[in-house]
């Protein structure tokens, strides 16, 4: 019955209590949402590349090499020569090698030249392979395969022609050699979704009439002539390497890093991802801290609400005291009220999170390429909810202790 | 013998509010017999509220002895005193007696939550609460109504039912009629008297209204039993 009275008292103040619950719910939803985005981002980050033992490129920093070769962020400071590439490919430890040639773009998307082996060797999300959703991979020199986001954003379909621009955000286009879309890939949640893939030879082909970054005036070799040409690249941007035995990874990395003919860099993708995440991690920690502060603010708001309700509830507490309730009962009632409020807020927050996920999932995916899975709450999230309720009980002790002292002093006679 | 032992006995009680040195109360002697109805008259500021707090045990006399039903309440611990109050005393205040958000039924049964012995005397909680409501002239469907929705007169009757339930030996009413109009006042007092007489309960009512005097067994003036001690005199 005491419980029923406590609920009755809460219901009687439904508006203020409701506001408190709403504040707690929003803060909890924000905190859990940030947590979801953080773990989602981290997972999709780590899932970007797998099955590749080494990434090789011109010597720069490991994070930079990872950024431009895998995430297509930033640019290579230099290329590696085709000779060095061949040299590495011929080494006995090397099981497979896939070249990557970057530098051109189509609209806001990067163009990547590679070999058909890329589709077979590139793995993401613990060993998943790329799959073609529509059409097929390149068969002609001027065929291209585009990522799911490219197709969705630009509304492309199989057979559509596209023109590649020289460089990034450039106005000089390779108009003479338009490509035809031969295939569209399944969505992967990786940078591949935002990449236009052509063959390595095609990268050479569009540059046939070009010298020093500009088209030679008046020169335009017909496509059929280009098809007959020997299109061996001079250089590639980077290469993905698989070794025959995992034990040889470090030996190969070392020898590539010490390659005398050209300054090269070989990195372990996993290690470089870790380094990169350490950099991003600071922002992530700040984000968590801010959303934790929001939760704390909401709880302090609840404390303030309980404080301000004390005066109007003095009568209620005096009645309890007059009926024989100990001051301890008054204290427990207030703490209980806080726990109930915080618990309802926490549960409501969880509901808000899932509603938000259902609504926001496709939006976040299309805007940021971040796929947030909708799953049952994790142990960690349940602990967060418990933590909020416990913290609610603790902060409510402050007004509850004041009420305790007040009800000892007031006894059963209240003069207001 | 048990019948003649006083239900309330104050002996040479002195109390002085902490921090309020200007006011103190001295009661040389006050005794109430079982089933007696006593009107305590006194002007405001004469120490009535302090006296009631002393009897209820929410404050403790610095010297002297306050006995309720033969127990010196100063000898009890604070927690035991709270329970003792719930067991022995039914209380009716001037106004705002009830938890407005709770049902009439819950309001009536509330003291039994803290008084297990008093509760044992009530075999059927709902039936007893209903009977009291009926006897106090409240409508039959009042039990589930929200206390805050009732008229002031009805609320005071519910408060009376709450004080009467489980038949505590002593009922203390602190100006219960002052917020009621004359007609309601008379009805309320008649009901209160008939109920307390029916249960053999001692009734101590505090008021400043001398017109009520004729209805009580005994009338005590605050000034006859106590001395308000003022530092400035």
Domains for chain B: give ranges and CATH numbers.
8-230 (3.40.50.300)
Q: Which of A104, A103, A76, A227 is nearest to A173 (CA)?
A: A104
CA B161 to CA B195: how far, in whole Å?
Answer: 9
For residues A159 and A27, state if they share a domain.
no
Q: What pLDDT is stored for residue B229 in this prediction?
A: 66
Q: Which domain holds residue A133?
A: 90-243
In chain A, residues with a C-beta closer than 8 Å to the C-beta of B17 are none
In a domain, A76, yes or no: no
The residue in chain A having the minimum alpha-carbon distance to the alpha carbon of residue B174 is A413
In a domain, A272, yes or no: no
Q: What pLDDT is stored for residue B182 in this prediction?
A: 81
Q: What is the pLDDT of residues B87-133, one digit of tens each?
A: 989 888 887 778 888 999 999 999 898 888 888 888 888 898 988 88
- Under a CB-based contact definition with an 8 Å cutoff, are residues A52 and A96 in contact? no
Does residue A315 sit at the B interface (CB-CB below 8 Å)?
yes
For residues A94 and A212, state if they share a domain.
yes
Does residue A412 sit at the B interface (CB-CB below 8 Å)?
yes
For residues A228 and A369, state if they share a domain.
no
For residues A313 and A231, state if they share a domain.
no
- What band does B233 get if pLDDT is binned at 50, 70 and 90? very low
- ipTM of this complex: 0.86
- Measure CB to CB from residue B86 to each of A315, A319, A323 and give the nearest one: A323
pTM greater than 0.80 (yes/no):
no
Best to test chain B binding among A12, A322, A331 (most B CBs inside 10 Å): A322
The residue in chain B having the minimum alpha-carbon distance to the alpha carbon of residue A327 is B79
Helix (H) or strand (E) holding A195, with range, is strand A195-199
Best to test chain A binding among B81, B113, B147, B162 (most A CBs inside 10 Å): B113
CA B121 to CA A339: how far, in whole Å?
Answer: 35
In a domain, A74, yes or no: no
The more confidently predicted of residues B36 and A368 is: B36
Q: What is the pLDDT of residues A131-147, one digit of tens each?
A: 999 888 888 888 999 99
Helix axes B152-164, B182-199, angle to 10 degrees: 10
Residues 324-343 of A with CB under 8 A from B: 324-326, 328-329
Q: What is the pLDDT of residues B128-140, one digit of tens each?
A: 898 888 888 888 8
Retrieve residue A79's tokens. Answer: 């290329």
For residues A33 and A105, state if they share a domain.
no
Domain edge (last residue) among A243, A271, A304: A243
For residues A21 and A128, state if they share a domain.
no
In chain B, residues with a C-beta closer than 8 Å to the C-beta of A321 are 58, 82
The residues of chain A scoring below 70 in pLDDT are 169-171, 369, 410-416
- List, in sequence order, every beta strand (DSSP E) within A75-142: 80-81, 94-106, 109-114, 123-124, 128-129, 132-135
Q: What pLDDT is stored for residue A315 in this prediction?
A: 81
For residues A229 and A360, state if they share a domain.
no
- Measure CB to CB from residue B110 to each of A323, A328, A413 and give the nearest one: A323
In a domain, A264, yes or no: no
Beta strands A80-81 and A123-124 are unpaired
Retrieve residue A315's tokens. Answer: 């009568």
The residues, ordered by sequence, that sit 6+ positions from B160 with a Cβ below 8 Å of its Cβ are: B92, B136, B176, B188, B191, B192, B195
For residues A236 and A293, state if they share a domain.
no
In a domain, A80, yes or no: no
Counted domains in chain A: 2
For residues A238 and A287, state if they share a domain.
no
Inform me whether the pLDDT recorded for B74 exceeds 80.
yes
Q: What pLDDT is stored for residue A214 in this prediction?
A: 72
For residues A235 and A97, state if they share a domain.
yes
Does residue B52 sit at the A interface (CB-CB below 8 Å)?
yes
Q: What is the pLDDT of residues B174-198, one digit of tens each?
A: 888 887 788 778 888 888 888 888 8
For residues A239 and A287, state if they share a domain.
no
The CA-atom distances, in angstroms, between A27 and each of A30, A39, A263, A350, B13 are 5, 18, 51, 10, 56
For residues A398 and A323, state if they share a domain.
yes
In chain A, residues with a C-beta closer than 8 Å to the C-beta of B114 are 323-325, 329
Q: What pLDDT is stored for residue A322 in this prediction?
A: 84
């Amino acid at each position: 019955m005491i419980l029923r009275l406590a609920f009755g008292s809460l219901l009687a103040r439904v508006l203020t209590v409701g506001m408190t619950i709403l504040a707690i719910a929003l803060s909890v939803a924000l905190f859990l949402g940030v947590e979801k985005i953080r773990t989602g981002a981290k997972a999709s980050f780590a899932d970007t590349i797998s099955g590749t033992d080494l990434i090789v490129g011109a010597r720069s920093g490991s994070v930079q090499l990872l950024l431009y070769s895998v995430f297509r962020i930033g640019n290579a400071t230099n290329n590696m020569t085709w000779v060095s590439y061949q040299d590495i490919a011929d080494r006995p430890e090397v099981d497979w090698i896939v070249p990557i040639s970057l530098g051109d773009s189509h609209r806001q998307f990067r163009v990547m030249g590679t070999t058909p082996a890329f589709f077979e060797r590139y793995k993401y999300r613990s060993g998943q392979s790329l799959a073609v959703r529509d059409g097929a991979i390149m068969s002609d020199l001027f065929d291209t395969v585009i990522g799911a986001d490219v197709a969705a954003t630009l509304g492309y379909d199989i057979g559509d022609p596209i023109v590649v621009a020289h460089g990034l955000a450039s106005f000089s286009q390779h108009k003479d050699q338009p490509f035809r879309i031969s295939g569209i890939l399944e969505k992967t949640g990786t940078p591949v979704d935002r990449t236009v893939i052509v063959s390595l030879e095609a990268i050479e082909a569009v540059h046939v009439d070009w010298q020093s970054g500009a088209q030679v005036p008046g020169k335009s070799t017909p496509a059929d002539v280009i098809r007959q040409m020997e299109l061996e690249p001079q250089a590639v941007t980077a290469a993905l390497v698989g070794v025959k035995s995992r034990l040889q990874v470090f030996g190969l990395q070392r020898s590539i890093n010490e390659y005398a003919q050209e300054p090269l860099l070989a990195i372990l993708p996993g290690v470089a991802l870790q380094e990169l995440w350490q950099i991003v991690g600071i922002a992530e920690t700040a984000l968590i801290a801010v959303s934790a502060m929001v939760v704390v603010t909401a709880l302090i708001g609840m404390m303030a609400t309980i404080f301000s309700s004390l005066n109007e509830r003095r009568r209620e507490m005096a009645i309890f005291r007059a009926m024989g309730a100990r001051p301890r009962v008054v204290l427990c009632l207030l703490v209980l009220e806080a726990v109930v409020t915080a618990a309802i807020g926490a549960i409501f927050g969880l509901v808000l999170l899932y509603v938000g996920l259902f609504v926001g999932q496709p939006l976040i995916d299309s805007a940021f390429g971040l796929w947030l899975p909708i799953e049952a709450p994790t142990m960690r999230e349940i602990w967060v909810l418990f933590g909020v309720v416990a913290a609610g009980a603790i902060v409510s002790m402050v007004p509850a202790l004041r009420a305790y002292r007040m009800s000892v002093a007031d006894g059963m006679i209240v003069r207001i | 013998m048990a019948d003649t032992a006083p239900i309330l006995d104050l002996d040479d009680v002195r109390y002085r509010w902490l921090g309020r040195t200007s006011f103190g109360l001295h009661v040389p002697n006050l005794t109430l017999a079982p089933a007696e109805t006593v009107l305590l008259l006194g002007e405001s500021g004469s120490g009535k509220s302090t006296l009631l707090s002393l009897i209820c045990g929410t404050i403790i006399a610095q010297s002297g002895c306050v006995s309720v039903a033969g127990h010196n309440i100063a000898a009890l611990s604070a927690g035991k005193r709270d329970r003792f109050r719930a067991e022995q005393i039914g209380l009716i205040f001037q106004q705002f007696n009830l938890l407005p958000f709770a049902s009439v039924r819950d309001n009536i049964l509330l003291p039994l939550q803290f008084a297990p012995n008093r509760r044992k005397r009530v075999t059927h909680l709902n039936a007893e609460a209903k009977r009291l409501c009926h006897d106090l002239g409240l409508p039959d469907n009042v039990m589930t109504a929200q206390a805050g929705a009732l008229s002031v007169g009805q609320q005071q009757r519910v408060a009376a039912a709450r004080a009467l339930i489980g038949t505590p030996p002593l009922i203390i009413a602190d100006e219960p009629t002052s917020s009621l109009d004359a007609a309601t006042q008379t009805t309320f007092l008649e009901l209160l008297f008939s109920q307390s007489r029916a249960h053999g309960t001692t009734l101590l009512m505090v008021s400043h209204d001398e017109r009520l005097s004729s209805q009580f067994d005994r009338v005590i003036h605050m000034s006859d039993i106590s001395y308000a001690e003022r530092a400035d005199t």
